[in-house]
Amino acid sequence: MASQMAILARTRSLAKTLNANPTFFKTITTFSFLSQEPQLAAEPTQPAAPEVPLPPNPTSYPENWRTPPSSAASAQSLLPLGFLQQSPSFQIQSLSQDLDSQGLLNVFADWMTSQKWTQMKQLFELWIRSLDKNGKPNKPDVSSYNHYLRANLMSGASPAEMLDLVASMEDHGVEPNTASFNLVLKAMHGGKESEAAEKLLQRMLQTGNVAPPDDESYNIVVSLLLQSHRVDAALKYIDLTLKSGYMVSMQVFKDCVQGCVNTGRLDSLVSIIDKCKSMDQNKALCPPWNLCNYIADVALQADNSKLAVHALKFMANWIARGEQSRPAVYLSVDEGLLLSALATAGRTSSSTLVDASWAILLRSLRQKKVPNPESYLAKISALASLGELERAFITLREFETTYANSSKEVEEELFSPFTSLYPLVVACSKTGFETLDLVYFQLESLSRADPPYKSVAALNCIVLGCANIWDLDRAYQTFEAISSTFGLTPDIHSYNALMHAFGKLKKTSEAARVFEHLVSLGVRPNAMSYSLLVDAHLINRDPKAALSVIKEMVNSGFEPSKETLKKVKRRCMREMDYESDDLVEDFAKRFNLRMDGEARRNRLFELNYSTGYA
């Protein structure tokens, strides 16, 4: 192959050398790459062909995809020639003579989209007076007649006129169905005729299976009754709706909730919500967010725990919907409302309300903030009222963990068994030493758990509970166990609880020794310490010693409470110690306390109970 290429190249070079005019030299080859020399195109020897014009503009065509055929053109293909040039009345008359029953329904369906209600009425009235292709009068069915009723409804027919039209259906051999009566009910709803709508609904119920009411019938009548402030009748038909298994519309449910709340029918509302929750088709009903808050507020004021639980569940649904939406909407329930719910749960002994309130509170805070101390204390109080002491102490443990780094003054106020934790003390001592021992042994076992739980506040509740049942031995043993068994250091509340136990049994000297002991240990007494020591002296009928303690209390920077001064004044009057009574009055004036309300007590004390007046 290489030899052949070489021979061809030599032959071409020789031919160019011998030929003086290389223009007429052409080579025949099948190799396109051999001709590498640029050449200019030869001038055309023939005249240029005439320019071919473009095809005509497509818009000049009779039909094009950019410009679809006009409605007139399409109508001419379906309607007789010259039909659209006729007057509207003549068109309707012509249609009434040409359409059969199915064609009439098709025309009605077309005209309903364009809301040609007047033409529909005229066409139907002419059509029923016309003859069909067999020469017999046109006979309407219930569907076409319902279209005629709807046209009259949308044209503003009164309820009386609608009733007359329904009555005339029998003249044409047509039995009205549920949709026919629903159109009449809509006319009554527009005319605010609640009594007539109720009677018509009762008539539908009496017809049996011919034209029974459906969910639309009930919703129309209930909505009309609620607008007329006939809540009792509306509740009756809502109950009938739910028993029949029909769906309640959202607007009717909202109006029902609003009407029941405004009229104070909370128990009836709870019953309706329970029935809706038990049905698949109505369990998704939920009032608006603001109405949920209003329901919860009214329920808490009325101490209706069941309705409050439903309101909180509705709020939980709204919170979940907001978190799932895009963009997310974060709804939160006011903590004050949930605090009231916890208090209501304690008063009504509702464990469900406690759980619902606390769950929604944590979800509203979204781990960005801890609950306030008042919320923890309200939950502890509610659980203590329910007798669920184990859960109450678990909540106390969470409370202590959350506010472990608070200041000493705040801790004394938050974990005082005399004030904030007193409901837990009452619950522990409610059934006597049995409950106190049970709680103590549970705390003792928790102290050996992993991780261990040791709480001075919980043990203080037991000490004070023992004092409340006049059991000094258990109170003293529990006080000693704080350091010996649990390895903790008693705080000021521990000493105060022990002083209270001694004081209730008139062991004033022992109570005073406890006071001196805590002072010697460097524990600073608080106002409660002085008040308990005053009470111990008053139980022993020693107002002068009580006043000396008050003086020491004032010198330490504390102010005696009005209740403490009233106790001292009462004891002074009974002991006829008027000098001490004057000192009490001086303290009251010094701290701007009005010592009123003792006049009736003094009269009762000064009565002569001898038998001479008998």
Q: Are 569 and 595 in contact (CB under 8 A)?
A: yes
Q: How many CA atoms lie within 13 A of 255 on its CB side?
A: 21
Non-local (6+) Cβ contacts of 189 within 8 A are 197, 220, 223, 224
DSSP count for the chain of H helices, then E strands: 31, 0
> How is residue 383 written in tokens?
């659980």
Residue identified by tokens 């309820």 is: 159
Evaluated on CA atoms 309, 311, 317, 321, the torsion sign reads negative
Neighbours of 492 (CB within 10 A): 18
**Nearest-10 crossing angle of helices 351-365, 373-386:** 160
Neighbours of 488 (CB within 10 A): 16
Neighbours of 290 (CB within 10 A): 8
Q: How many CA atoms lie within 13 A of 359 on its CB side?
A: 14
Helix (H, G, I), strand (E, B) or coil at 115: coil
545-559 per-residue burial string, b: 16 or more CB within 10 A, e: under 16 = bbbebbeebeeeebe
Q: Are 291 and 254 in contact (CB under 8 A)?
A: yes
User: What is each CA distance from 530 to 277, 551, 561, 566, in whole angstroms?
Assistant: 57, 10, 11, 15
For residue 172, give the amino acid letter: H
- DSSP H helices, 366-404, are 373-386, 389-402
Q: In angstroms, rounded to a whole number, what is the distance separating the alpha carbons of residues 36 and 15?
A: 18
Tally the residues of the chain. Answer: 614
Please give the DSSP secondary-structure letter assigned to residue 610: -
Evaluated on CA atoms 306, 311, 315, 318, the torsion sign reads positive
Non-local (6+) Cβ contacts of 314 within 8 A are 286, 287, 292, 295
Beta partners for 137?
131
Q: In angstroms, rounded to a whole number, what is the distance separating the alpha carbons of residues 123 and 126?
A: 5
pLDDT, mean of each 10-residue run, the chain (614 residues): 48 46 46 47 51 60 48 43 54 81 89 91 89 84 92 93 91 90 94 92 87 93 93 93 92 93 93 93 92 95 95 95 91 94 94 95 92 94 93 93 84 90 92 90 89 91 94 93 92 94 92 93 92 93 92 92 90 87 89 74 67 55
Nearest to 226 by CA among 199, 262, 201, 202: 262
* Separation of CA 165 from chain center: 46
- DSSP H helices, 556-595, are 562-574, 578-590
Q: In angstroms, rounded to a whole number, what is the distance separating the alpha carbons of residues 271 and 258?
A: 15
Give residue 99's pLDDT. Answer: 85
Q: What's the burial of 537, exposed, middle or buried (CB within 10 Å: 0-12/13-18/19+)? A: buried
Please give the DSSP secondary-structure letter assigned to residue 451: S
Helix (H, G, I), strand (E, B) or coil at 326: coil
Q: In angstroms, rounded to a whole number, what is the distance separating the alpha carbons of residues 178 and 192?
A: 20
Beta partners for 131?
137
367-387 per-residue burial string, b: 16 or more CB within 10 A, e: under 16 = eeeebebebbbbbbbbbbbbe
* Separation of CA 175 from chain center: 46
Residue identified by tokens 């460097």 is: 522
Q: In angstroms, rounded to a whole number, what is the distance separating the alpha carbons of residues 385 and 312?
A: 21
Give residue 73's pLDDT. Answer: 43
Give residue 404's pLDDT. Answer: 83
Q: What is the DSSP string of 126-173?
A: HHTTSB-TTSSB----HHHHHHHHHHHHHTT--HHHHHHHHHHTGGGT
Beta partners for 480?
none
Neighbours of 395 (CB within 10 A): 22
Neighbours of 168 (CB within 10 A): 11
For residue 60, give the amino acid letter: S
Give residue 61's pLDDT. Answer: 45
Q: How many CA atoms lie within 13 A of 301 on its CB side?
A: 9
Classify residue 173 as left (phi > 0), alpha (psi -120 to 50) or beta.
Answer: left
Q: In angstroms, rounded to a whole number, what is the distance separating the alpha carbons of residues 121 and 128?
A: 11
Q: Are 188 and 196 in contact (CB under 8 A)?
A: yes
Please give the DSSP secondary-structure letter assigned to residue 51: P
Residue identified by tokens 């029935």 is: 275
For residue 259, give the amino acid letter: G
Residue 9 belongs to what H/E stretch?
A: helix 2-18
Q: Are 223 and 255 in contact (CB under 8 A)?
A: yes
> How is residue 517 written in tokens?
């002991």
For residue 610, give the amino acid letter: S
Q: In angstroms, rounded to a whole number, what is the distance separating the alpha carbons of residues 536 and 124?
A: 99
Q: In angstroms, rounded to a whole number, what is the distance separating the alpha carbons of residues 30 and 13?
A: 18
> How is residue 483 written in tokens?
């350091």
